[in-house]
Chain A
Amino acid sequence: MNQPRAAKLTWLLIAIVGALTVFPVLMLVLGSFSEGLTAFGVFTLDKYVDAYTDPALAEVMLNTVIFVIGASVLSTVLAVFLAYLNTRTDIPFKFLFGILSVIPMMIPHLLFSVSWALLLNPSNGLLNLGLKEVFGLEEAPLDIYSMWGMILVEGLLDMPIAYLIIAPAMASFDVALEESSRVSGASAWKTLFRITLPVLRPAILAAFILGIVRSLASFAVPSVIGMPGRVPVLATHLYEMIATGFATDYGKAAAVGMSVLAASVTLIVVYRALTAESEKFVTIAGRGFKTTVIELGAARMPLFALVGVLSFVLIVLPVAVLAYTSFMPYSMVPSARAFSMMTLKHWRDVLGDPISILALKNSLFLAVVGATLGVVLSVFVAYVIVKVKTRAAGILDSLSYLSFSFPGIVIGVGFMWFFVQTPLYSTIWALLLGYIATYLPYGIRPMSSAFVQIHSHLEESSLVCGASPLTTLKRIIVPLLIPGIVSGWILLASMFVRELTLSVVLSRPGTEVLAVQILRFSEDGLWGKLSALGIVMIAITTALVVLATWVGSRFKTA
């Protein structure tokens, strides 16, 4: 694309993305400097003084750093491991493992955390009971209500995001690079650490940074696991700020949120610096490329067993707990008596509830339409970020993270303060725009990782042959981006199916969504109904993932 056109496209995208993301954050900035409880009031610095002179803040920050880095390292390492096995090797049942890897993303975070508490609480957690029985222990060996418990559960929840960013990059990795290394005498391990992983650095870093930003904004794990374990982190600190009293001051919470925003923007700048020379990571150029399957040989079955056990313990078990809970009349530890009391009551209640059915329809609409619009916007934004390396492209990159970086507990109020000034307030369109604005990085990151690996020679050759930029995008770039597009769509759609932070503030009668219904059940302690609706949510998301993967594979073969 020539420079004036690229500049025009960049500024157009800055206008679109800016309109989506800047206003809610601006409202929160105004609120943080205003007296009173809304965005507009007399200027004051009191909220910052109050928020940052709190003696508890230092410990909260230290815990937060340990929590987010721990969770992000865990999610990224697991994702690299699973993505490598799934995309590059001949491990059996690949498709199944691919789906299993993204399942934690489909489960409402609250439910996933509760499932782990049921498995690993020190009083009667199922795994603890089993371990006590097997090893004849007096006390439960594991306590989920701790920092390591929080890291484990958050790491698992963020793993699918990392997987969906890393897997497309792995899939479009030119194996010739690895073959050259092997031919030159390097071992498989050396090739992995000296060639494969360094080339995948943009995708791995993107996954790691998204993980950090997500765990900073996470509330379910700090609330369900951190609060009983008495491990305060930023999210629970913000909750305390908001919940203690009735005249909730979101401006003060926004003041604390500003440091999260600053940390996130810094991370993005660091990421851009670390991946600045993007030519180094190009693996698909005009000279032909191929991906071949690495034969695991004797390690095939042991690795299969390892991934199988991992998937079972980390993913299947919590989902099974969920299914079990949906059939129980109340919370019970599994036993012969419990199984004899199984009932379909919660399922009948949920499926017969008109609001739950309306919520299901609305969530499906928002997922399909929102993810599709989000992916279209993401293709253009990712293109500009990766291929048009101007300062304006950097601004666009940072803008795309604005709403996403803000703690979820606060950003919804920013959107409310913004949308109430527009005719969109209390309509489904406010939800649609809010979703796209907040979760845009989920669309952009997988696409950027894929763009990084496509050499500009391909594009240039097409243009030289007389194709228009749009034709080049349609005929050359998009087909190569299919894995990224599928990943982005899946990430966005599954986020939208279970989106809570904006919905809880913006949804009104007629625009109810699934996650808000689930929250209502949770507030009332109705875990059976909550689990039944959660399973419906997982089923819908699984159907969307399978559909997107199938459509993606059709495009690939077409």
Chain B
Amino acid sequence: MKRLLVATFALCAALNATSQDKAQLEKARAEGKASFYANITAVEPIMKAFTADTGVKGEYTRISTTKFVATAITEFEAGKFMADVVQGPVPVLEILKQKGVLASYRSPAAKGYPDWATKDDQIMLFGIEYVGLIYNKERVKPADVPTRYEDLALPKWKDKIVMANPANHATTIAWLVALNENVFKDDAKWRGFLAGLAANKPMFVSSFGPTPAPIESGEKLIGISMPKYIVTKSPAPLDWARGAQPLMGTPRAIGISAKAPHPAAARAFVDYWLSAKSMGILAKDVGEYVLAPGVFPPIDGIDKAKVIPIRELSDEETQKWGAEFKKIFDVKK
């Protein structure tokens, strides 16, 4: 009898949830579209799939990270914030949260995500912008491939490394700091590694985007870059250096606008975004490391890698460490 009652209750709850989902989707369709502000590569397939599967038009506005906060806050304060959903690095969404730009929403689609990814009801985490050592597999012999981050400081890599400018590229700054906190755990050793890396005179570029091209062409042999380029730049001869140490990166986050012009469509979009189908597209087409359970990018060995989120630095910390790295790496000649 007890079992029957539980089953009946569960069935009612499921039917209720389904009818709620349907009602929300109907509302979303009536609203017509969901506007998505983000800076993420090649999400058009997800936007297309969302439109096809829900009947709600997904509209993507790409805004570069350096202009994201300025644009969102300017529009919000002028009463013209057009985004229903925003996506970006956690510090960006934290700033928007402080300014009252975000609304609370717990998506049922986040079921199965790690607890640390869903603890905030305004900022949901769905991926890690993972960073690793990427090398040219035609130019670097297997025996020479680094197995530890420390190997990058060996003199054999002099003038053969490319990386984003550690004086101002926020993600690289956070990653270098995280190396100390998660890998070296010893300030002197970490500083020794930085000095060795700096002595190898890496070529600096403005962000991760320009890092793979010099490796592909052979201008440089190895770089501090993102394994996702193995997917997006296929068939370029790129591979990632495997080792026991973890891959690290800043978490990617998504949230709903407090003044979303299409609130039901916004919720429908976030549910869709966090679903295994969308995350599968993101992993397969763009090589992203996502938090949906059991979904991995098609990169050999990445499903066995330990990928961890790193601590987000405040702007003050980022600037402090940027200035420090500028000295260590002698950023001006």
- Could you list which residues of chain A lie within 8 angstroms of chain B, going by C-beta atoms? 37-40, 56, 59, 118, 121, 123-125, 145, 223-224, 227-232, 239-240, 242-248, 250, 329-333, 355, 413, 416-417, 420-421, 425-426, 504-505, 508-509, 519-520, 522-527
- Cross-interface CB contact of B75 among A59, A247, A420, cutoff 8 Å: A420
- Cross-interface CB contact of A227 among B67, B89, B165, B232, cutoff 8 Å: B165
Complex Cα gap A123–B161 (Å): 11
Do A246 and B209 contact each other (CB < 8 Å), given the known contacts A504-B67, A524-B42, A524-B232?
no
A526 nearest in chain B by CB position: B232
- Cross-interface CB contact of A240 among B44, B78, B167, B236, cutoff 8 Å: B167
Do A243 and B67 contact each other (CB < 8 Å), given the known contacts A59-B332, A329-B236?
no
Contact A243 B170 (CB under 8 A): yes
Among A123, A227, A246, max chain B CB count under 10 A is at A246
Closest 4 CB pairs of A and B: A245-B315, A330-B236, A331-B217, A240-B168
A332 / chain B contacts, CB cutoff of 8 Å: 216-217
Complex Cα gap A360–B279 (Å): 31
Within 1-47 of B, Cβ neighbours of A (below 8 Å) are at 35, 39, 41-42, 44
Contact A123 B159 (CB under 8 A): yes
Contact B213 A227 (CB under 8 A): no
Complex Cα gap A245–B169 (Å): 8
Q: Does B49 sit within 8 A of A, measured CB to CB?
A: no
A526 / chain B contacts, CB cutoff of 8 Å: 232-233
B315 nearest in chain A by CB position: A245
Complex Cα gap A229–B66 (Å): 23
B interface, size bucket: 35 or more
Extra A-B contacts (6), CB below 8 Å, given A121-B219, A523-B41: A227-B206, A333-B217, A420-B80, A504-B64, A509-B60, A524-B232
Do A245 and B318 contact each other (CB < 8 Å), given the known contacts A37-B73, A239-B168, A523-B209?
yes
Chain A's nearest CB lies how many Å from the CB of B99? 9
Among A38, A227, A333, max chain B CB count under 10 A is at A227
- Cross-interface CB contact of A244 among B68, B204, B205, B318, cutoff 8 Å: B318
B213 / chain A contacts, CB cutoff of 8 Å: 331, 525, 527
Contact A525 B229 (CB under 8 A): yes
Chain A's nearest CB lies how many Å from the CB of B317? 9
- Cross-interface CB contact of A247 among B60, B232, B237, B315, cutoff 8 Å: B315
A426 nearest in chain B by CB position: B82
Q: Hey, what's the 0/1 contact readout for B190-214 against A, CB within 8 Å counting as 1?
A: 0000000000000111111111111
Contact B61 A509 (CB under 8 A): yes
Q: Can you list 5 contacts pairing A with B, beta carbon distance less than 8 Å?
A: A37-B69, A123-B218, A230-B330, A231-B332, A331-B216
Q: Does B331 sit within 8 A of A, measured CB to CB?
A: yes
Chain B's nearest CB lies how many Å from the CB of A8? 36
Do A246 and B69 contact each other (CB < 8 Å), given the known contacts A333-B218, A525-B213?
yes
- Cross-interface CB contact of A246 among B89, B204, B206, cutoff 8 Å: B89
Chain A's nearest CB lies how many Å from the CB of B252? 13
B206 / chain A contacts, CB cutoff of 8 Å: 223, 227, 239, 243
Chain A's nearest CB lies how many Å from the CB of B265? 15
Complex Cα gap A330–B137 (Å): 14
Q: Does B276 sit within 8 A of A, measured CB to CB?
A: no
- Cross-interface CB contact of B207 among A229, A421, A523, cutoff 8 Å: A523
Q: Does B71 sit within 8 A of A, measured CB to CB?
A: yes
A413 / chain B contacts, CB cutoff of 8 Å: 67, 70
Complex Cα gap A421–B75 (Å): 9
Do A524 and B41 contact each other (CB < 8 Å), given the known contacts A239-B168, A331-B236?
yes
Q: Does B147 sit within 8 A of A, measured CB to CB?
A: no
Contact A247 B74 (CB under 8 A): no
Q: Does B301 sit within 8 A of A, measured CB to CB?
A: no
Complex Cα gap A492–B94 (Å): 41
Complex Cα gap A486–B80 (Å): 40
Q: Does B141 sit within 8 A of A, measured CB to CB?
A: no
Q: Does B115 sit within 8 A of A, measured CB to CB?
A: no
B59 nearest in chain A by CB position: A509
Contact A505 B71 (CB under 8 A): yes
Within 49-88 of B, Cβ neighbours of A (below 8 Å) are at 59-62, 64-71, 73-75, 77-78, 80, 82
Chain B's nearest CB lies how many Å from the CB of A532? 15
Contact A246 B91 (CB under 8 A): yes
Complex Cα gap A425–B42 (Å): 26
B159 / chain A contacts, CB cutoff of 8 Å: 123
